Structure 1
Amino acid sequence: MEFSILWPINQVQWGAWSSAAITFVFGLLMFLAPRIGFRIRRLQPVGEKPEAIAEGRATMAGFYLGVSLCCLILGPQLFLFMALGFSWLFTAFGRLLAMMSDGANTPYNWVSVVVELVLASAPLALAFGFEA
């Protein structure tokens, strides 16, 4: 495997790179300031339990940082961008499922679904060969 930093040269690559960069920023926020990240996501640890904050740093930040850094550092490895795109796609699907079955049909969730679908479509376009 060759290490090379992906520098975008067309719109599809810019979209995939931007999705990875935004995912990295989300991960960095959850890693360095999980309470702020929880507040942005409208989540609140019950009783300021340290386990909840650790879960934000570990599970949420870990996946965001790991997948996005692999996409940004390892260059145009299409399977990495496919993993990033499908991760965001399943995030949107999970939110839609919650909106339909858990009564979470709120404007915040609709905006989140749109953002997640945009973050999913950009790397999937690159992975499936849609070149501009």
Structure 2
Amino acid sequence: MEFYIPTETGELAAFCAAIATGLFGLFALFAPGMALKLAGLQTREGSREGFAFVRSAGGFYAGLAIVALMMAQDWIYMAIGGGFALAAFGRILSLMSDRSFTVKNLLVLFAQVLLGGLPLAYVFGFF
């Protein structure tokens, strides 16, 4: 099987979103402590379950991204876009109801909207 790098702009944007998702997933998979710290979270003293959760979520992101990069199919790009779109919706709900309106949350929201919007824009023909 040959590795495919897209040449058209829309598919390249979705491809780049998949790469960013994969990098984020690999970071969480192999450096869960740093990922928790960046998110402003910490584990309880004497408990390591938080690391297991972060590694598992990171593995999910990395796995989905790797499949998207290897298969380059619209449905997989749609899964990445839909996942990030719902994550952005959850962050907006948090901004409104939890009063978590900070610069950090706005930057992460922007990243989620971008990582969700690029693949969805390609799949639905906006690129």
- Identity fraction in percent: 31
Worse overlay, 41-50 or 26-35: 41-50
For the residues of structure 2 that align with 1:56 and 1:4, how far apart are their CA atoms?
Answer: 32
Structure 2 gap ranges (5+):
none
Could you tell me whether the CA contact under 8 Å between 2:11 and 2:122 is conserved in 1? yes
For the residues of structure 2 that align with 1:106 and 1:42, how far apart are their CA atoms?
Answer: 12
Among candidates 29, 39, 43, match of residue 41 of structure 1: 39
Aligned to 1:23, the other structure's residue is in SS state helix
Q: How does 1:70-85 map to 2 (within 5 A)?
A: 70-75=67-72, 77-85=73-81
The alpha carbon displacement at 1:7 in A equals 0.9
The alpha carbon displacement at 1:48 in A equals 5.2
| Deviations, residues 61-88 of structure 1 (Å, cap 9, x unaligned) | 122112111110112x101000000101
For the residues of structure 1 that align with 2:61 and 2:44, how far apart are their CA atoms?
Answer: 23
Could you tell me whether the CA contact under 8 Å between 2:10 and 2:122 is conserved in 1? yes
TM-score by length of 1: 0.89
2:81 partner letter: G
Aligned twin of 2:126: 130
For the residues of structure 2 that align with 1:47 and 1:22, how far apart are their CA atoms?
Answer: 32
Structure 1 gap ranges (5+):
none
Aligned residues: 127
TM-score by length of 2: 0.93
